[in-house]
């Protein structure tokens, strides 16, 4: 039995302490391997069990959940009607070089980690007569990136280590522009999994270990 995000962490082969992954789906879910240590966060994150090895050794993780990630793009599609498909947001955002001062607070269902502000609602700031749907699209991608960055900053402060690499998966991780934005903001490498469905892949790997198909995590 494997939890959704724990399986994704495993599927991303994040077996070493300090290795992190972000899954970009309707929300965004960020986990960092903390090894055999339970890190009790002072920055608004959760401690979770990552997995239990066959020899009984537990691996723990630090976890932060962003409530609205891909859901913000879905809102552009279904609520505002400025894109026909979720995948079209990248091309639209690339029509402009910047958001031109437009800032989107994507608190459509409140804000999750590390803020935990359920009563805050979404807002658009900096709109002028020159604002176009392309600026709003780009601001939406930036909003997702900044939320993930906030969680990772909290994780780094809790662990006292700087992030060198972020492994990414999930449907929205296919967005090249957003992943480049994420790398630029983090100042770290963003490595995209060939299989964006890392949860299913990780669960299959765990099952293989449990069934003896694999001898170890390295095999």
- The CATH number assigned to the domain holding 76 equals 3.30.420.40
Residue 71, in any domain of the structure: yes
Residue 86, in any domain of the structure: yes
Task: Report whether pLDDT(59) > 80.
Answer: yes
Structural domain range at position 141: 40-55+66-163
How many other C-beta atoms lie within 10 A of the C-beta of residue 37? 12
Q: Which two tokens stand for residue 29?
A: 């879910």
Count of the separate structural domains present in the chain: 1
pLDDT band at residue 56 using 50, 70 and 90 as cut-offs? confident
Residues 6+ apart with CB under 8 A from 91: none
Task: Report whether pLDDT(30) > 90.
Answer: yes
Residue 26, in any domain of the structure: no
Answer whether 115's CB lies under 8 Å from 44's CB: yes
H/E element, 29:
strand 28-35
pLDDT band at residue 219 using 50, 70 and 90 as cut-offs? low
Q: What is the mean pLDDT of residues 54-69?
A: 92
**CA-based end-to-end distance of the chain:** 21
Residues 6+ apart with CB under 8 A from 213: none
pLDDT band at residue 89 using 50, 70 and 90 as cut-offs? very high
Residue 134, in any domain of the structure: yes
Angstrom distance (rounded) from CA 65 to CA 190: 18
Residue 79, in any domain of the structure: yes
The DSSP letter of residue 156 is H
């Amino acid at each position: 039995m494997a939890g959704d995000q724990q399986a994704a962490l495993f599927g991303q082969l994040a077996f070493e302490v300090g290795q992190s992954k972000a899954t970009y789906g309707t929300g965004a879910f960020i986990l960092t391997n903390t090894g055999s240590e339970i890190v009790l966060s002072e920055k608004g994150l959760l401690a979770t069990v990552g997995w239990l090895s066959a020899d009984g050794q537990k691996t723990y993780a630090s976890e932060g959940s962003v409530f609205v990630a891909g859901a913000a793009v879905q809102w552009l599609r279904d609520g505002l009607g400025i894109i026909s498909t979720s995948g079209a947001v990248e091309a639209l955002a690339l029509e402009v070089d910047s958001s031109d001062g437009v800032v989107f607070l994507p608190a459509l269902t409140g804000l999750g980690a590390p803020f935990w502000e359920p009563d805050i609602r979404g807002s658009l700031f900096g709109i002028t007569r020159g604002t176009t749907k392309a600026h709003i699209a780009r601001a939406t991608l930036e909003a997702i990136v900044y939320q993930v960055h906030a969680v990772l900053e909290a994780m780094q402060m809790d662990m006292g280590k700087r992030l060198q690499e972020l492994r990414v998966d999930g449907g929205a991780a296919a967005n090249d522009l957003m992943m480049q934005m994420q790398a630029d903001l983090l100042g770290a490498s963003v490595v995209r999994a060939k299989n964006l469905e890392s949860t299913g892949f990780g669960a299959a790997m765990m099952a293989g270990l449990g069934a003896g198909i694999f001898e170890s995590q390295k095999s």
